[in-house]
Amino acid sequence: MVEVSNISFAYDKSDRKILEDISFDIKQNECIAVLGNNGAGKSTLLKCIDRICTPDEGIVMVDGKNVYKMSKTMMAQNIAYVPQSSTSINMTVFDSILLGRKPYIKWDASSEDRQIVSDIIHKMKLEDFALRTVSRLSGGEAQKVMLARALAQEPKLLLLDEPTSNLDPRNQHEVLQTVKKIARENNICVAIVIHDLNLAIRYCDRFVFLKDSKLFSYGGLEVMTPENIEKVYQMHVHITEYMGIPIIVPFPDEKVTD
């Protein structure tokens, strides 16, 4: 269970606020989508939750504990974060994922750490790449490695910043299915910054809409309405259903009534 309360953030005190008084919660096994147009503060919100940026106000509670009061190592055992763009890493897949065990490693990786990494590699179907250099993998494979590293942290909260942006359609679905499956199996809360509304509506349980640095709307499928999407993205959409799968069809040329 994760509670995010009253997060506010500005890069400079005099500067405009990037985030203003954002509050929401994530229940166990739940996958929430953080939505909003470019510059709405989605990535910054994830960074504030993981204290990569220090918010000016607000608290984040994971399982009833204030993460801002934890040591950095303790926090890394609770929250894992996968950034939007990963730098090319001259390190093998195995070693990259082993880094996820860093918050638990005292002097050197134990055989248990290596076993956990090996299991995750198996789960993510990365066996064929285990000793290959990450920088030589395709975008999709590298993205899976980053995700695997975050899972090796055995976090209670998993933060993903656009995990599907570099992936082909098949891999997009595969990665999100894996995330959902692992979240359910390990009781992890997940927050995903995602641009693809169709992926969001299909794989996420609840939706955080950010608009102009503020929380515009938060809720389940009931907030995924054409009106809300229109107000947040300044774009007209229709929501329909095909074989039980909700589909959002954009009509960018239609005039938006604001």
Partner 1 sequence: MPNKNLNQLESYEAYIRRKKLTFVIAFAATIIVGLFAISSGSLKIPIPEVFNSFFGKATPQSQITIMNIRLPRVTAAIVVGAVLAVSGAVMQCVLQNPLASASTLGVSQGAAFGAALGIIVFGGGVVNSDSAATAVTISNPYIVTICAFLFGSLSTFVVILLSQFKKDLGPAGLILAGVALSSLFTGGSTLLQYFADETKISSVVFWTFGNLGSAGWTEILILTIVLFFALVYFLLNRWNYNAMESGADTAKSLGVNTRRVMLVSMGICSLASAVAVSFVGIISFVGLVAPHIMRRFVGNDYRYLIPCSAVAGSLLLILADTFARLIIAPVILPIGAITSFLGAPLFLYLLFRGFNSNG
Query: Is residue 103 involved in binding partner 1 (CB under 8 A)?
Result: yes
- The amino acid present at 164, given as its one-letter code, is T
Residues ≥6 apart with Cβ < 8 Å to 32:
24, 26, 189, 190, 191, 192, 204, 205, 206, 207, 208
- The amino acid present at 235, given as its one-letter code, is M
Taking CA atoms, 111 is separated from 114, 135, 251, in Å, by 5, 26, 54
Q: Which is nearer to partner 1, 159 or 200 (CB)?
A: 159
Query: Is residue 1 involved in binding partner 1 (CB under 8 A)?
Result: no
136-155 positions binding partner 1, by CB under 8 A: 146, 153
26-45 positions binding partner 1, by CB under 8 A: none
Q: Which of 57, 63, 127, 185 binds partner 1 (CB under 8 A)?
A: 127
Tell the smallest beta-carbon distance from residue 152 to partner 1 (Å).
10
Tell the smallest beta-carbon distance from residue 95 to partner 1 (Å).
6
Report the C-alpha gap between 90 and 32 in whole angstroms.
Answer: 32
Per rule CB under 8 A, count of chain residues that contact partner 1 = 45
**Span from 31-39, 113-121, 176-184, 209-217 in contact with partner 1 (CB under 8 A):** 113-121
Tell the smallest beta-carbon distance from residue 96 to partner 1 (Å).
7
Report the C-alpha gap between 175 and 164 in whole angstroms.
Answer: 7
Residue pair 143/167 in contact by the 8 Å Cβ criterion: yes
For β-strands 19-26 and 2-9, DSSP reports them as antiparallel
* Contact footprint for partner 1 (CB under 8 A): 47, 50-52, 71-77, 79-83, 86-87, 89-92, 94-96, 99-100, 102-103, 105, 108, 114-115, 118-119, 121-122, 127, 130-133, 146, 153, 159
